[in-house]
Amino acid sequence: MSDTSEPTTHFGYETVPEAEKAGRVHGVFTSVASRYDLMNDAMSLGIHRLWKDAMLDWLAPRPGMSLLDVAGGTGDIAFRFLERVKGDGAVTVLDMTESMLVEGRERSAKQGIEGKLDWVVGDAMALPLPPSSYDAYTISFGIRNVTRIEDAIAEAYRVLRPGGRFLVLEFSRVPNELLRKIYDTYSFNVIPRLGQTLANDRSSYQYLVESIRRFPEQEVFASMIRDAGFEQVSYRNLSMGIAALHSGWKL
pLDDT at position 21 over 80: no
What pLDDT, on the 0 to 100 scale, is given for residue 15? 78
Q: In the prediction, which pLDDT does 34 show? A: 67
Q: How many domains does the chain have?
A: 1
- The confidence score (pLDDT) of residue 105 equals 93
pLDDT of residue 199: 74
Task: State residue 203's pLDDT score.
Answer: 85
Q: What is the CATH number of the domain that holds 136?
A: 3.40.50.150
pLDDT(2) > 70: no
Q: What is the mean pLDDT of the chain?
A: 90
For residue 139, tell me if it sits in a domain: yes
Angle, in degrees to the nearest 10, between helices 36-44 and 18-32? 90
Domain membership flag for residue 205 = no
Determine the average pLDDT of the residues in 244-251.
Answer: 98
Q: Is residue 16 part of a domain?
A: no
Q: Is residue 78 part of a domain?
A: yes
Identity at 88, one-letter amino acid code: D
Residue 25: exposure state from Cβ atoms within 10 A (0-12, 13-18, ≥19): buried
Distance CA 140, CA 238 (A): 13
State the pairing for strand pair 14-17/8-11: antiparallel
Indicate if the pLDDT at residue 33 is higher than 80: no
- Distance, CA of 146 to CA of 35 (rounded, Å): 21
Quick check: helix, strand or coil at residue 128? coil
Q: Is the pLDDT of residue 31 over 70?
A: no
Among the listed residues 111, 112, 78, the one whose alpha carbon sits nearest the alpha carbon of residue 95: 78
User: Which helix (DSSP H) or strand (DSSP E) does residue 249 occupy?
Assistant: strand 243-250
Is residue 208, in this structure, part of any structural domain at all? no
Q: Are strands 8-11 and 117-121 parallel, antiparallel or unpaired?
A: unpaired
> Is 188 contained in some domain?
no
Whether 14 shows a pLDDT value over 90: the answer reads no
The Cα–Cα gap between 184 and 236 comes to 21
Looking at residue 32, its pLDDT comes to 65
pLDDT band at 238 (very low <50, low <70, confident <90, very high): very high
pLDDT tens column, 90-138: 999 999 989 989 989 999 999 888 888 999 999 999 999 999 999 999 9
pLDDT at 3 over 70: no
DSSP 36-97: HHHHHHHHHTTHHHHHHHHHHHHH---TTEEEEEET-TT-HHHHHHHHHTTT-EEEEEEES-
Q: Which residue has the higher pLDDT, 193 or 155?
A: 155
**Among 9-18, 57-66, 229-238, whose mean pLDDT is lowest?**
9-18
pLDDT tens by residue, 133-187: 999 999 999 999 899 999 999 999 999 999 999 999 999 999 999 999 999 999 8
Give the residue numbers spanning the domain of 65.
Answer: 46-176+217-250
Amino acid 211: pLDDT: 87
